[in-house]
Amino acid sequence: DTAVSQTPKYLVTQMGNDKSIKCEQNLGHDTMYWYKQDSKKFLKIMFSYNNKELIINETVPNRFSPKSPDKAHLNLHINSLELGDSAVYFCASSQSVGNTIYFGEGSWLTVV
C-alpha cells in the first residue's frame, strides 16, 4: 500500500483555471505538508498542517489554499492558475514527535 498518495499524478491545464491536487496518507501521522519543486529542482515548503491546523504557511500566493478535512488528508486547491505555477508538487507527512518525513510521488502540474 502506498503510504502517501496524491492525485492526479499528471495535470495539464490552461491559464486561469482552478484545479485541486488531493493527498492522503495511511501512516497515522498527524502532520502533513505541501512542497513545491521548481524547474531548478529546488524543493520549497509551502504549507504544513498539524492535527488539521495550519502551522506553517510560507510566502505563497493566496491563490493557493490548502484544506485538511481530517488528519489523513491535505488537499491543495489552486485558483486562477498561472504559467509560473508549473512545477512538481509533493505532499508529505510525518509524526510530529519524530522527524522523518515521508513524501508522495509528486504531481506534475503544467499550465499552458
**Diameter of the chain measured on Cα atoms:** 41
Instruction: Scan residues 56-95 and list those touching other proteins (CB under 8 A).
Output: 56, 90, 92, 94
Choosing from 42, 54, 67, 82, the residue that interacts with other proteins (CB under 8 A) is 42
The nearer residue to other proteins, 33 or 68, going by C-beta atoms, is: 33
Cα 100 to Cα 57: distance, rounded to the nearest angstrom: 20
Can you tell me the distance from the alpha carbon of 65 to that of 25, in angstroms, rounded to the nearest whole number? Answer: 19
Residue 103 touches other proteins, criterion: CB under 8 A: yes
Interface residue with other proteins among 21, 74, 81, 101 (CB under 8 A) is 101
State the Cα–Cα distance between residues 71 and 85, nearest whole angstrom: 26
Task: Characterize the bridge pairing of strands 10-13 and 107-111.
Answer: parallel
- List residues binding other proteins (CB under 8 A): 4, 31, 33, 40-45, 48, 50, 55-56, 90, 92, 94, 96-106
